[in-house]
Structure 1
Amino acid sequence: MAMAARSFLCPHLHVSSAGAAIREKPFLGAHGISFPRRTSRSGGGGALAASAMASTVLVTGAGGRTGQIVYRKLKERRDQFIGRGLVRSEESKEKIGGADDVFVADIRDPTALVPACQGIDALIILTSAVPKMKPGFDPSQGGRPEFYFEDGMFPEQVDWIGQKNQIDAAATAGVKHIVLVGSMGGTDLNNPLNRIGNANILVWKRKAEQYLADSGIPYTIIRAGGLQDSAGGVRELLIGRDDELLKTETRTVARADVAEVCIQALLLEEAKSKALDLASKPEGQGSPTSDFKSLFSQVTATF
């Protein structure tokens, strides 16, 4: 399988038509700061009541292309959510508006996560190790690009230790639900993604998923197909398990649709303690998904 087709299955590695990788930055940064759990922008009693009923939700990896969409969706639904973000750097914080509810933290440092997790009701994890392309690759000459991970930024440290730290911090904070976004392909140790930088990225992602499933915290694990930067809400979403969707032609899904599934998972009991693969039909085929309760009701797998 060509490199572009392989890497397109990873939610955090998008490949252009020329074959060159367009990568999100790894999730790192400095210590964040704390702010009050409940806020209201209006002095009206109705707004205060709505704020008191809203769930405080932290999305990590909020500076990434999918994370930005989730963060924005939380902000748009103030009657349901009080949104927070966690990013790797001050630069990423400014990229999504620089609000006081965006924390800067290194997910490999458990103590750095404490301020952002204080008082949260739910956590959406969108962090991932990101490979870099070795210099010198020329797509016009054919062949395949080579990738590497920077020291300290390997999947073991980011996708396993970093995500474990997030789960532990959320558990200490008394979180009621964790949504974890991963990648399809983890059932196959020989998946090409595991060979990128010889780092077994899907192996470490699955280890974090298992840790979450064993944590006792209500969870939803979403293993997304290849992510597309296209409009959401216009395709029929497909649910699978054990990478069965990789055997079909429906291996991709819009980032905006993944973001909406994350939000809906927080609202529906049918999504709790379930794991699912997520893809979609091409636009124009089938009916756009709007009944998420029915969608989650199709899921029977707990891991």
Structure 2
Amino acid sequence: MASPPTVLVTGAGGRTGQIVYKMLKERSEQSVGRGLVRTPESKAKIQGADDVFVGDIRDANSILPAFQGIDTLIILTSAVPKMQPGFDPTLGGRPEFYYEDGAYPEQVDWIGQKNQIDAAKAVGVKQIVLVGSMGGTNPNHPLNSLGNGNILIWKRKAEQYLADSGIPYTIIRAGGLQDRDGGVRELLIGKDDELLQTNTKSVPRPDVAEVCLQALLYEEAKFKAFDLASKPEGAGTPTKDFKELFSKVTTKF
């Protein structure tokens, strides 16, 4: 009997990454879970053992040990804008955001993801699941103006690099991420940001995590890119058939 595949989730200390890492551990009969985090503090936070590596995705050499012997990769790393100190919501107006030096989307979402794709290709991974964001078809999307980071533009550049790599890929462009229970909503597949024109443009983090893991199980998920959102809880039928969900996807990018 073949041993289960080894799956590396990067960004395992992030809010969605933590969920994916936990699910991998809970489903050890399906795969061997492994995590990559940026700091020892993040490793401690997810109670990581020898299966959690510490490395900086912006430094290609520092992440190589995490990639040795893996079969598939789930990329959940992302630049995170921070709010300028001193903002008082009671005074009205909008908060200002910034990125820390060296942690702009160009460095994290483009160079950092490119480094991961290159490392994965070098060890011969069979599939990469990349979680991005809806909104990438609009250069003037408000997310791009946060901290002048153009985050969606750099994310799209990394997605294109993955699509051109020759590695089987699944690109999930998630809607607004919600800290809510997963498994209780009907999931919606979209393309080209069409879902942003509707009232259903958000999705719980655990559902994104579930789609990441399910994408590793079905051929129907490979060489596909799609937007992901969900109906409100109680509307529609909770999604259970992921093979059917992936079969609905018709877009490669």
TM-score scaled by length of structure 2: 0.99
Structure 1 counterpart of 2:242, from 283, 292, 298: 292
Deviation of 1:236 (Å):
0.1
1:215 is matched with 165
**Which runs of structure 2 are paired with 1:248-287 in the superposition (5 Å)?**
248-287=198-237
1:275 aligns to what SS in structure 2? strand
In structure 2, distance between residues paired with 1:114 and 1:93: 17
2:180 aligns to what SS in structure 1? coil
Matched, 1:241 2:191: yes
2:101 is matched with 151
1:54 is matched with 4
Matched, 1:95 2:48: no
Deviation of 1:120 (Å):
0.3
Deviation of 1:98 (Å):
2.6
2:216 aligns to what SS in structure 1? helix
Deviations 1:213-241 (A, max 9, x none): 00000000000000111110000000000
Letter in 2 for 1:160: W
Structure 2 counterpart of 1:196, from 140, 146, 165: 146
1:114 aligns to what SS in structure 2? helix
Deviations 1:97-137 (A, max 9, x none): 13110000000011111100001000000000011111111
Q: Where has structure 1 moved over 6 Å in runs of 4 or more?
A: none
Deviation of 1:199 (Å):
1.2
In structure 1, distance between residues paired with 2:166 and 2:62: 23
Q: Residue 53 of structure 1 contacts residue 80 of structure 1 at CA under 8 Å; is this kept in 2?
A: no
Deviations 1:34-57 (A, max 9, x none): xxxxxxxxxxxxxxx5xx421100
2:132 aligns to what SS in structure 1? strand
Please tell me whether Structure 1 or Structure 2 has the larger radius of gyration of its CA atoms: 1
Aligned CA-pair RMSD: 0.6
Deviations 1:228-263 (A, max 9, x none): 111100000000000000000001000000000000
1:170 is matched with 120
In structure 2, distance between residues paired with 1:132 and 1:69: 22
TM-score scaled by length of structure 1: 0.83
Ranges in structure 1 where 5+ consecutive residues have no aligned partner: 1-48
Ranges in structure 2 where 5+ consecutive residues have no aligned partner: none
Q: Residue 219 of structure 1 contacts residue 274 of structure 1 at CA under 8 Å; is this kept in 2?
A: yes
Matched, 1:206 2:148: no
1:111 is matched with 61
In structure 2, distance between residues paired with 1:64 and 1:101: 16
1:129 aligns to what SS in structure 2? coil
In structure 2, distance between residues paired with 1:282 and 1:112: 41
1:66 aligns to what SS in structure 2? helix
In structure 2, distance between residues paired with 1:100 and 1:188: 42
Matched, 1:136 2:86: yes
Q: Percent identity of the aligned residues?
A: 77
